[in-house]
Amino acid sequence: MHICFATSEAVPFAKTGGLADVCGALPREIAALGHAVSLVMPAYRGIFHRGEVIQSTGIELQIPVGGKVVTAEVLTSHLPDSDAVVYFIRQDDYFDRDGVYGEHGVDYEDNCERFVFFSRAVLQLIQQVPLDVDLLHIHDWTTGLIPAYLKIEAAACDRLSRIASLLTVHNLAYQGTFWHWDMLLTGIDWKYFNWQQMEFHGDLNLLKTGLVFTDAINTVSPSYAEEIQSAPLGCGLEAVLRDRRSVLSGIINGVDYTTWDPAEDRYLATPYSAENYGEGKRICKRALQREFGLQLAPDRPLIGFVGRLASQKGFDLTFPVMQAWAERQDVQWVILGTGDKTLEKQLQQLAEENPGRIGVVIDFSEPLAHRIEAGADLFLMPSEYEPCGLNQLYSLKYGTLPVVHETGGLADTVVGASEETLAAGTATGFSFDAYDRAELAKTLEQALALYADRPDLWKQMIEAAMQQDWSWRKSATRYLALYEQTIARHNATVLTT
């Protein structure tokens, strides 16, 4: 098979979130399994400063956008340590900017035009290079028009008509909604601007467009695939998703164990594995306590958090628990992240009031994130919703037991401790169902009691967690099966039309 990925971001070239990690890792794994892989993304200003070799192909594209024709150049590179070819669409008026989608928290006003152009450019590139593509794997709203172009305009082109499409939704909350007159930019007939296809409460919705026209849809966890078929996590598109449930599935994102493995992690005070984690984690915990200015107390439970400081990540539950426990619970906290400015100040103040017990760093540091995963005893992820989540997967590998809200990928990857799962030896963390402050506190108390009173069970849980396999290779084999199903379905449809 030849799989072509179309994405607005991919590591190491451009990243604003988890989408980039997926589109940097999954194509490499698919290529490593013996398939032809290409990836198409915009040539942002930042790609030229990543240290990768980027060359011109000499190919020039002429792309219709609204009533004009826009010229673009095609550049090429490779994903590091891979045969996967990367093609960049260079159009400096659209992409030679500091940001990917916007700057200083404000979206670019011409985002619809930018990604209309990009979607058309992907298909034009496939024809001109040319690429013999079996399936286009597209991602989120920025590529949502591609399936519509394939279904509406590509029938006359033999090369494009043979291509199946798969749309992965990484976070349904981001939909690419624009005013209705932007429909003119797409070049698609107005008859498709209706409530069943491209229109959404009077606006143009690019994600909805993709969901309606694509051959198959998947999300980044099976539970999230179920959750988005009803409110509130359907974000207004639940009826569309229910209508397409027969082609909707979920596959958990993988972990790059070449980066996230305590046995080979260069950021840690000492490496460790499932065979010697006891001494290794003790050394890493002491180093983490010292780095955050906490009391050097090896037996005191240490709770870690890394991520965005926002209510969606569960801080409307977490912060009140931290306040209530600051003096009465013999526990330490380390927090790393940025986000809501009010919450940042509240956390910093709480840390100042409780020196030696609470450490807060308002920043993001990849090395420090690794050290928190290794040195903490518990890792907190009480997200209100979480399409997949990666930190809980890192925590499992590092023997740091996650405490999670049972939603999305968190529910799919963490086996909560109960009498049954502890007896079976399958428990890998702690979880709570109702999104409630009291439930979080109760679950943390359960974890602390087990830590203090049942070291045998704590050891059992760590070993079960560290033996989990959430590698990209495992996820890639599932994607390959989905690709084959989608191509077969597409080909059957083409033959009957």
The verdict on 247 and 288 lying in the same domain is no
The verdict on 373 and 489 lying in the same domain is no
Looking at the domain assignment, is residue 445 inside a domain?
A: yes
Looking at the domain assignment, is residue 152 inside a domain?
A: yes
pLDDT in tens, 375-396: 999 999 999 999 999 999 999 9
Looking at the domain assignment, is residue 269 inside a domain?
A: no
The rounded radius of gyration (Å) of the Cα atoms in the chain is 24
pLDDT at 24: 94
- Going by C-beta distance under 8 Å and a sequence separation of 6 or more, which residues neighbour residue 460? 422, 425, 427
205-214, 340-349, 486-495 — which is least confidently predicted? 486-495
pLDDT at 44: 97
pLDDT at 45: 95
Annotate the chain with three-state secondary structure.
CEEEEECCCECCCECCCHHHHHHHHHHHHHHHCCCEEEEEEECCHHHHHCCCCCEEEEEEEEEEECCEEEEEEEEEEECCCCCCEEEEEECHHHHCCCCCCEECCEECCCHHHHHHHHHHHHHHHHHHCCCCCCEEEEECHHHCHHHHHHHHCHHHCHHHHCCEEEEEECCCCCCCEECHHHHHHHCCCHHHCCCCCCEECCEEEHHHHHHHHCCEEEECCHHHHHHCCCCCCCCCCHHHHHHCHHHEEECCCCECCCCCCCCCCCCCCCCCCCCCHHHHHHHHHHHHHHHCCCCCCCCCCEEEEECCECHHHCHHHHHHHHHHHCCCCCCEEEEEECECHHHHHHHHHHHHHCCCCEEEEECCCHHHHHHHHHHCCEEEECCCCCCCCCHHHHHHHCCCEEEEECCHHHHHHCCECCHHHHHHCCCCEEEECCCCHHHHHHHHHHHHHHHHHCHHHHHHHHHHHHCCCCEHHHHHHHHHHHHHHHHHHHHHHHHCC
- Spatial distance between the Cα atoms of 279 and 266, rounded to a whole number of angstroms: 17
Sheet containing 332-337: which strands, arranged edge to edge?
Answer: 358-362, 332-337, 302-306, 378-381, 401-405, 430-432
- Spatial distance between the Cα atoms of 294 and 360, rounded to a whole number of angstroms: 11
pLDDT at 326: 87
154 pLDDT band (50/70/90 cuts)? confident
Looking at the domain assignment, is residue 142 inside a domain?
A: yes
The verdict on 337 and 222 lying in the same domain is no
The verdict on 171 and 221 lying in the same domain is yes
pLDDT at 280: 96
Domain of 296?
277-470
pLDDT average, residue stretch 79-91: 96
- Spatial distance between the Cα atoms of 384 and 57, rounded to a whole number of angstroms: 46
The verdict on 102 and 138 lying in the same domain is yes
497 has pLDDT over 60: no
The verdict on 348 and 456 lying in the same domain is yes
The verdict on 246 and 282 lying in the same domain is no
- Report the domain count for the chain: 2
217 has pLDDT over 60: yes
Contact 356, 325 (CB under 8 A): no
| CA angle (22 as vertex; 467, 43 as ends), nearest 5 | 155
pLDDT at 327: 77
- Spatial distance between the Cα atoms of 111 and 108, rounded to a whole number of angstroms: 6
pLDDT average, residue stretch 446-458: 96
pLDDT in tens, 296-322: 999 999 999 999 898 899 999 999 999
The verdict on 19 and 100 lying in the same domain is yes
- Going by C-beta distance under 8 Å and a sequence separation of 6 or more, which residues neighbour residue 152? 188, 189, 192, 213
pLDDT at 495: 66
Looking at the domain assignment, is residue 383 inside a domain?
A: yes
- Going by C-beta distance under 8 Å and a sequence separation of 6 or more, which residues neighbour residue 224? 233, 250, 385, 386, 387, 388, 408, 409
- Spatial distance between the Cα atoms of 312 and 387, rounded to a whole number of angstroms: 12
End-to-end CA distance of the chain: 23
- Spatial distance between the Cα atoms of 297 and 322, rounded to a whole number of angstroms: 19
pLDDT average, residue stretch 70-87: 96
pLDDT at 70: 98
415 has pLDDT over 90: yes
- Spatial distance between the Cα atoms of 169 and 406, rounded to a whole number of angstroms: 20
Nearest one of 2, 3, 6 to 40, comparing CA atoms = 6
The verdict on 462 and 477 lying in the same domain is no
pLDDT at 329: 79
Looking at the domain assignment, is residue 234 inside a domain?
A: yes
6 pLDDT band (50/70/90 cuts)? very high
Would you give the distance in Å from CA 327 to the centre of its chain? Answer: 36
The verdict on 244 and 369 lying in the same domain is no
496 has pLDDT over 70: no
CATH number at residue 418: 3.40.50.2000
pLDDT in tens, 26-56: 999 999 999 999 999 999 999 998 888 999 9
493 has pLDDT over 90: no
The verdict on 157 and 249 lying in the same domain is yes
- Helix 472-495 and helix 18-32, axial crossing angle in degrees, nearest 10: 80
**How high does pLDDT run on average in the chain?**
95
pLDDT average, residue stretch 13-17: 90
- Spatial distance between the Cα atoms of 243 and 234, rounded to a whole number of angstroms: 12
17 pLDDT band (50/70/90 cuts)? confident
pTM: 0.93
Looking at the domain assignment, is residue 438 inside a domain?
A: yes
Nearest one of 400, 381, 393, 362 to 284, comparing CA atoms = 400
Looking at the domain assignment, is residue 267 inside a domain?
A: no
The verdict on 307 and 410 lying in the same domain is yes
